[in-house]
Chain A
Amino acid sequence: MHDLAMKLFSLLFGIGILLVVLQTTLQRLLPISPIVPDLILVLCVYWGLHHPTVGAALGSFLLGYSVDIISSRLLGVNAFAMSLVFLSVYLGSRSIWLHHPIVSSIIVLFAALVKGAGLVLVWVIFLSTEGFWTGAVQYIVSEALIAALLAPFMFTLLQRGENYLGKPGATAQ
């Protein structure tokens, strides 16, 4: 059981690193620049919904930190946002039934808005606010919609990846 959890953590974290690489390189092939599809956010939501463990919380933090290492002037911005997303999704998944594929889009949309709110908080405290609100609203809404559209597709891929490990996709309570 412990071995399977470790394998699952390794699989999802490995996928997360690949998604970070995709976000930083192949995104310029897409016609939606400068908006970057937030694949890491979708992965963290999936983790929080389907496999909420201590390792998943740490994994979400580390993936956010990876994005910070590559992209952010301030370390910790995305680590904070992804930890916030994981916690929100975990707490939400305990009280509502959230595992329908279409509902997953709505959850990712909600999570992206939570992440946006977290970034707004951090930005206002630590960084410049020149022209902030116009850009912030544009980025939050665009990223949330794109992430919500990608969610069912990515969830299906991730569940297939889990099945490859020999265990059907588990569901949280």
Chain B
Amino acid sequence: MLAFLRKNQIPLSACFCLLLSFYILSASARGQLKHEPVGAVLMWVIRPLQLAAQGTANWLLGIHENYLTVSGYKSENERLRKRIQSLEVERQRLLEAEATNRKLQQLLDFRTQLPGKPVTASIIANSASSWFQGCILDKGSADGVRKDMAVVTPLGVVGKVVSVTAHSAKVILLTDANSGIDVLVQRTRSRGIVSGSLDGGTILKYMKRSEDIQPGDRLITSGLDGVFPKGLLAGTVVKANKQNQGLFQSVDVLPAVQSQRVEEVFVVAGVAETAPAKN
């Protein structure tokens, strides 16, 4: 027996890992994995590396964007560049300051409109898998972030917090195939669910064939799911197709927020959590 175990220790250990991961899957699917210390330790190790790598990526992107800008305008600017260089630098600095000021003002205005006490967070990492659309925030439970809080920007809905450690939070994006946000069509007040799909698109589900849906219709959060405050833009209808068989029509949606371009977000508690308790 011992000889058999020793001879087959590698395949047996791999099978053990398979069974263990299947057990973790089952427990996770049933929501029984509330506290798992290994994940917290791994995040504790990975988070500083992610921050450093994200900084490097941002720096490289900045260089790339600068290169594109410069090369695009090079021929046009060549004749005038020497003459107005100092003025141009000053102008760029002022424009950047103005844009930053405007962006901060927008964020501030938006923050005051949100219920409860929104937490401002930065996205420090994106999904490591093609199968899941998610990101990691640099704020966690120590900053007041909790599971099932909404992640939003002034442009609209980004996603929902699905797990939290002390100093980071994992977010499932609106475009993930397993997300689902209760929305209203702003023009007709019809209700549906906005979700991602694995083929890369975003769709509006459970919209009856009899409902009047037009391209350009705005989809806003209903607030009924208790996660997202009411009235935030989730997306815009791109195409509605009633040709399919079945009870529902097929509706393609353009998400309000392109998450790859977002750097700063607000994490906010849903209506259910922020409403005052009744006596």
Known contacts: A69-B42, A74-B29, A119-B131. The answer to whether A25 contacts B50 by CB under 8 A is yes
Q: How far is the CB of B233 from chain A (nearest CB, A)?
A: 22
The proximity string for A residues 2-35 relative to B, scoring 1 for CB distances below 8 Å and 0 otherwise, is 0000000000000001101111111111000111
Is A126 touching B29 in the complex (CB atoms < 8 A)?
A: yes
- The answer to whether A24 touches B127 (Cβ under 8 A) is yes
**Chain B residues closer than 8 Å to A142, beta-carbon distance:** 130
**Chain B: residues with CB nearer than 8 A to chain A?**
9-11, 13-18, 20-25, 27-29, 33, 36, 38-39, 42-43, 45-46, 49-50, 53-54, 56-57, 60-61, 64, 124-134, 136, 162, 170, 172, 176-178, 195, 197-201, 203, 205, 260
Cβ contacts under 8 Å, B136 to chain A: 24, 70
The tally of CB-CB contacts under 8 A between chains A and B is 188
Is A29 a contact partner of B49 (Cβ separation < 8 A)? Answer: no
Return A72 CB to nearest CB of chain B, in Å: 5
Contacts of B197 in A (CB 8 A): 130-131, 135
Contacts known (A24-B128, A76-B28, A122-B25); A29 close to B61, Cβ less than 8 A? yes
Number of interface residues of A (CB under 8 A): 64
Whether B131 contacts A139 by the Cβ 8 Å rule is yes
| Distance between B68 CB and nearest chain A CB, rounded to angstroms | 13
Which A residues touch B205, using CB under 8 A?
130
A97 at the interface (CB under 8 A from B): no
Q: Contact: A75 with B28, CB < 8 Å? A: yes
Checking A28, A36, A76, A138 against B24 with a beta-carbon cut-off of 8 angstroms, the contacting residue is A76
Q: Which residues of B contact A54 (CB under 8 A)?
A: 9-10, 13
CB closest residue in chain B, given A64: B21
Contacts known (A35-B130, A87-B15); A69 close to B21, Cβ less than 8 A: no
State whether A70 touches B198 (Cβ < 8 A).
Answer: no
Given contacts A21-B46, A73-B132, A132-B177, contact A60 B17 (CB under 8 A): yes
A46 at interface, CB cutoff 8 A: no
A51 to chain B, nearest CB (A): 10
Q: Which residues of A contact B (CB under 8 A)?
A: 17-18, 20-29, 33-36, 40, 52-54, 56-58, 60-62, 64-67, 69-80, 83-84, 86-87, 90-91, 119, 122-123, 126-128, 130-132, 134-136, 138-139, 142-143
Cross-chain contact A75 with B177 (CB below 8 angstroms): no
Contact status B18-A87, CB under 8 Å: yes
A24–B20 CB distance below 8 A: no
Contact B21 A61 (CB under 8 A): yes
A84 CA / B57 CA spacing, docked (Å): 32
CB distance from A145 to the nearest CB of B (A): 12
Residues of A with C-beta under 8 A to B260: 28, 33
- What is the CA–CA distance of A58 and B136 in the complex, to the nearest angstrom? 25
Given contacts A25-B57, A57-B17, A76-B25, 15 further A-B contacts (CB under 8 A): A21-B53, A33-B260, A53-B10, A57-B13, A69-B46, A71-B134, A73-B132, A73-B172, A75-B36, A80-B21, A87-B18, A126-B25, A132-B177, A132-B198, A139-B131
A139 near B130: Cβ-Cβ < 8 Å:
yes
CB distance from A1 to the nearest CB of B (A): 16
A-B pairs with beta carbons under 8 Å apart, 13 shown: A21-B46, A24-B126, A36-B129, A53-B10, A67-B128, A70-B125, A73-B162, A75-B39, A76-B28, A86-B17, A127-B177, A131-B177, A138-B199
Residues A131 and B203 in contact, CB atoms below 8 Å apart: yes
B51, closest chain A residue (CB): A25
- Max chain B C-beta neighbours (<10 A), residue from A71, A119, A143: A71
Please tell me if the beta carbons of B10 and A65 are within 8 angstroms of each other in the complex.
no
Cβ of B126: which chain A residues have Cβ within 8 Å of it? 24-25, 27-28
**Min CB–CB distance B67 → chain A (angstroms):** 13
Instruction: From known contacts A20-B128, A71-B127, A136-B198, infer whether A66 and B178 are also in contact, taking CB-CB under 8 Å.
Output: no
Complex Cα distance, B178 from A126, in Å, reads: 11
A87, B14: Cβ atoms under 8 Å? yes
Known: A24-B50, A143-B130. A86 touches B14 (CB 8 A): yes
Across the interface, which residues of A come within 8 angstroms of B9, CB to CB?
A: 54
